[in-house]
Amino acid sequence: MRNERRKPWSAAGILACAIIANAATLPYQGLATDSKGNPYADGSHPVVFSLYGAASGGTSLWSETQTVATSKGLFSTSLGAVKVVPDNLFNGSALYLGVAFDGGAEGGRLLLGTPPWAKASDSSRASHVADSAKAVAGLGDSVSLLRAKIRTDSTSQAAQLASNLSTLNARHVADSVQIYMLQSMLAPPPSSGIPWQSAIVYGSLTDTRDGQVYRTVRIGNQVWMAQNLNFAGTGSTIGVCYSGSNDSCAKYGRLYMWSEAMANAASSTSNPSGVQGVCPTGWHVPSDSEWTTLRKFVDPTSTTDGTKLKSTGGWLPNGTISGNGKDTYGFRALPGGGSNARSVGISGNWWTASDTILSNATYLGMFNSTTNVSKEIDGEINDLSLRCAQD
């Protein structure tokens, strides 16, 4: 119960009493607060207690003034301690208590319960029930608001949690990709059982399209992939594995038709060709002229260029010829075979970006029976290996 003062603050009292019929005094406890709900300072305060026969209006049936001591706003006293409460007030009729704290005006009156409830008037009962209903309704509203607040907070927190989880998942995926790429760069490329040149300093190329890692090598002023391309395409498959064997692709790379290698780009004889084709970004399909530059750097006479470019293992012997090369510059040309009866171990064949006439394109061939690189032409529908050169 709140009692407004004449000053710009108020006091509140909470009734906690037990009414006993014909009792000389009525125990009462209260809490005094200002208009902001802060408890009164400790001290003594005058309080006027009054009993009424109605919830509002009318004159008091009994009244007394007491001085009560507050501790953190709490105080305790007995009604009738100063002025006896008349016994005839307890006749079964409803009684309402008004409290004026520290000179302030009374707040709302509080209905006092009476033991002879059966003797109470219908209007008193109805009033009491109405007041109780209001209290219950008010409590229900408070509980509903609290539940709504909890639901709102829970929904907001759940949404925030979901957002945080989504962010963490995205970050985890990004970190996993970066870790995978780093591991791919640090890990050695797949081994075909054919040795690498330990004296050569190789570079590294990671194809961001599929994460495959290739070694690269600088020969003269050119930088070449030191492995055949093994890109299977994005969205639709391109190239084939020799004899349909995935193991062959892992060892020797894929075999492409000329149009696949060129990604349907036009022929080029320029040096560099300027045709990315199916090569990774920053790399291109070398032209016939670029291959000639490589061959002349390796052997100006073009008689032992094959021996110097072929790998030191993997080539089948041919009579008294071992078939293997010296791999002098780390190019590591592998005998990956191809279509048109060019078999693994016997030959290696690489497309250029330059075609000729009648749907034929130039390619470079190396064989287990020769020491040189030969320039050939072949039908563009045949499947051959591809080495990419850096732009």
Q: What is the pLDDT of residue 52?
A: 93
DSSP H or E run through 43? strand 43-52
Instruction: Name the nearest CA neighbour of 80 among 61, 59, 108, 102.
Output: 61
pLDDT digits (tens, 9 = 90+) for 214-258: 999 999 999 999 999 999 999 899 999 988 888 889 999 999 999
pLDDT digits (tens, 9 = 90+) for 28-82: 888 888 777 788 888 999 999 999 999 898 999 999 999 999 998 888 999 999 9
The verdict on pTM exceeding 0.85 is no
CA–CA separation, 338 vs 347, rounded Å?
8
Asked whether the beta carbons of 90 and 21 are under 8 A apart, the reply is yes
Q: Decide which of 33 and 291 is more confident.
A: 291
CA–CA separation, 72 vs 50, rounded Å?
24
- Tokens 């070694």 correspond to 215
CA–CA separation, 249 vs 214, rounded Å?
14
CA–CA separation, 146 vs 154, rounded Å?
12
Amino acid at 212: Q
Asked whether the beta carbons of 113 and 132 are under 8 A apart, the reply is no
Q: What is the pLDDT of residue 30?
A: 82
Half-sphere exposure of 3 (CA within 13 A, CB side): 28
pLDDT digits (tens, 9 = 90+) for 169-218: 777 666 655 554 454 444 444 445 788 999 999 999 999 999 999 999 99
Q: What is the pLDDT of residue 154?
A: 77
User: For residue 98, what are the contacts with CB-CB under 8 A and spacing of at least 6?
Assistant: 49, 50, 51, 52, 60, 106, 107, 109, 110
Q: Mind listing the domains of the chain with CATH numbers?
A: 2-129 (2.60.40.10), 203-390 (no CATH)
Burial of 239 (0-12, 13-18, 19+ CB in 10 A): buried
Q: Decide which of 50 and 108 is more confident.
A: 50
Question: What is the average per-residue pLDDT within 77-88?
Answer: 89
